[in-house]
Amino acid sequence: MRPSSRHRVLFAGLGLGAAVLAVPALAMANGADVDWSAGDFILAATLLTGSSVALDATWNGGGGRRGRLARTIAFATALFLFVSNLAVGIVRDESHPANLMSFVVVGFAIAGGGLLVRTPRLAIACLLIAAGVQASMAFIAMAVWSLPFDAGMARSASLGLVVAAALAGAASLVPRRAGAGSERRLG
C-alpha cells in the first residue's frame, strides 16, 4: 500500500525517527559506551513521533509555499530550542537554579509550535520570545547569581541570537491575510 501523498512528510519523519532510534540500539548491541534505558528509548520515540506528526500538520497547513517554508523554519527552531534546553544544562551543572530559565524557553517553544498551523505570526512571536530568553539567560544568570561569563553562557547567548535571526527570516515569509489592512474607513 502506497502512503498518501498528503502525509508523505509524516511517513518520512517516522522512517527517519526509526533510523535515529536504531543508532543507539545498534551501538549498545555492539558494545559501545552507549547505555540507554527503556525510558530513554520511549522518550526519544515519543519526541520523534510527536515531531513527525507536528511537522506533517505544519507542512499541510496551507498558506502556499512561503507559508509552508515559514512554518517549517519556525517548527525546526522550536524543536531545536526544545531539545537543546532539555538535553543540556546551559548554566553550570544540571542542579543550578539558573537552568530553570530553560523551562521558560521550552514553554514558549511548545506554545509557538502548537500555534504554527493556525496562526503562524503568533507562533513566530512566541518563538521570538523564547529566542530572546535564550539569548539573555547568560546575562540574567550573571546578574542574579553573580556567575562569571564562560563558554557555556556564550553558547547560550549565541544560540538565542541565531534562532532569533532564523525566526525573523521565517516571519518575513509568512503571507499576510487576505484583506488585512484593506478595510474601508466609514464616515
Domain-wise residue ranges, the chain:
8-60, 64-174
CATH T-level fold of 64-174: Four Helix Bundle (Hemerythrin (Met), subunit A) (1.20.120)
Classify residue 37 by its DSSP letter: -
Whole-number pLDDT of residue 184? 38
Burial class (CB in 10 A: 0-12, 13-18, 19+), 83: middle
**Per-residue confidence at 46, pLDDT binned at 50, 70, 90?**
confident
Give the dihedral of Cα atoms 100, 102, 108, 114; nearest 10 deg: -110
Classify residue 150 by its DSSP letter: -
Do 136 and 24 touch, CB atoms closer than 8 A? no
pLDDT in tens, 66-83: 777 777 777 777 777 777
Higher pLDDT, 33 or 18: 18
